[in-house]
């Protein structure tokens, strides 16, 4: 999978309740898209941070766990992180 297709796949996975979408291309390359501010209907614009490059510590640990479990790289599914839920 090339980088442009990975970026498009990450952006497509961002729903309003998703904070971060990460796609693992290989051992040494990760594509990550992060929403800077929580989604609001009053927003007139949206800010994203796009990161293409080497994985950080948390992502390296995920890659190690995938290899131990027998998962092949690139990981097919986009990994999502959601906004924290408010306590009621």
Provide the residue range defining the domain that includes 16. 3-80
On whether residue 58 sits in a domain, the answer given is: yes
pLDDT attached to residue 45: 84
Q: What is the pLDDT of residue 68?
A: 93
Give 15-59 pLDDT, tens digit per residue: 888 999 999 998 899 999 999 888 788 888 888 999 999 999 999
Number of domains the chain contains: 1
In this structure, are residues 47 and 35 in contact, taking their beta carbons and an 8 Å threshold? yes
Residue 87 within a domain: no
In a domain, 9, yes or no: yes
Asked whether residue 63 is assigned to any structural domain, the reply reads yes
The whole-angstrom separation of Cα 23 and Cα 10 is 7
Whether 5 has a pLDDT exceeding 80, the answer reads yes
What the block records as the tokens of 31 is 């594509």
pLDDT tens per residue across span 51-81: 999 999 999 999 999 999 998 888 889 999 9
pTM recorded for the entire structure: 0.85
Please provide the distance, in angstroms rounded to a whole number, between the alpha carbons at the two ends of the chain: 43
């Amino acid at each position: 999978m090339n980088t442009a297709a990975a970026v498009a796949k990450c952006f497509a996975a961002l729903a309003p309740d998703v904070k971060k979408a990460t796609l693992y291309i290989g051992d040494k390359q990760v594509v990550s898209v992060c929403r800077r501010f929580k989604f609001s209907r009053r927003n007139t614009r949206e800010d994203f941070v796009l990161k293409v490059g080497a994985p950080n510590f948390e992502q390296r640990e995920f890659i190690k766990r995938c290899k131990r479990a027998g998962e092949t790289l690139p990981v097919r599914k986009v990994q999502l992180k959601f906004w924290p839920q408010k306590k009621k």
